Amino acid sequence: MAILRGQSPEETVRLASAAWDAGLELVEIPLQNAQSADALAAGAAEAARRGRFVGAGTITSTVLVEQAAALGARFTVAPGFDPEVAARSLDLGMPHLPGVATGSEVQAALTRGCIWLKAFPAEALGASWISAMRGPFPEARFVATGGINARNARQFLSAGAGAVSFGAAFAELTDDDLIHLT
């Protein structure tokens, strides 16, 4: 997954297209201000045109969940777990990817219907955290997020992460990096 933060609507569409063309399935566009709302709307329109998916990131309230849905997001992502945010997103038919960093957060998110979980901040947690959490929570699917780059992504995937997210490191990926990750 590519995270496209702080881009203009035009640059968001260009980068999202590059991500999809490179084989990344999902794009997250953080929803933090008016420009990011415009970028999310533009990215969601392009995703719909191409049969792809765009989600809204940094969703920390039910108000933002509703705004994300209105702008065309197909899923939501949060830096932490809030049961009300998760419930509202799921009620609107959008899968929710909450940030988790403890066993208690993993268990709470799973109990609320979230199967895909954002291991955040992944670089600080380490790849071994993914392996450790997969033991008691085999049904959980982790997306390693935060500090992921071409050098460490394979470690997280090998440890059991179902996916990785590239933020600022997305622009640095080469075609060869992408081939080795798939």
Asked if residue 179 has pLDDT above 70, the reply is: no
Distance between CA atoms of residues 109 and 42, nearest Å:
30
Distance between CA atoms of residues 172 and 177, nearest Å:
9
Catalytic residues: 28, 118
Half-sphere exposure of residue 68: CA atoms within 13 angstroms, side-chain side: 33
- 62: region left, alpha or beta (phi > 0 left; psi from -120 to 50 alpha): alpha
- For residue 165, what pLDDT is reported? 95
pLDDT, tens digit, 9 for 90 and up, residues 101-144: 999 999 999 999 999 999 999 999 999 999 999 999 999 999 99
pLDDT, tens digit, 9 for 90 and up, residues 37-95: 999 999 999 999 999 999 999 999 999 999 999 999 999 999 999 999 999 999 999 99
The model's pTM is 0.92
Q: Residue 182 — pLDDT band, cuts 50, 70, 90?
A: low
Q: Residue 66 to residues 13, 34, 75: CA-CA distances in angstroms?
A: 22, 15, 11
Taking CA 157 as the corner, what is the angle to CA 20 and CA 182, rounded to the nearest 5 degrees? Answer: 40
Eight-state DSSP code of residue 23: T
pLDDT, tens digit, 9 for 90 and up, residues 108-117: 999 999 999 9
CB atoms inside a 10 Å sphere around CB 61: 13
CB atoms inside a 10 Å sphere around CB 156: 28
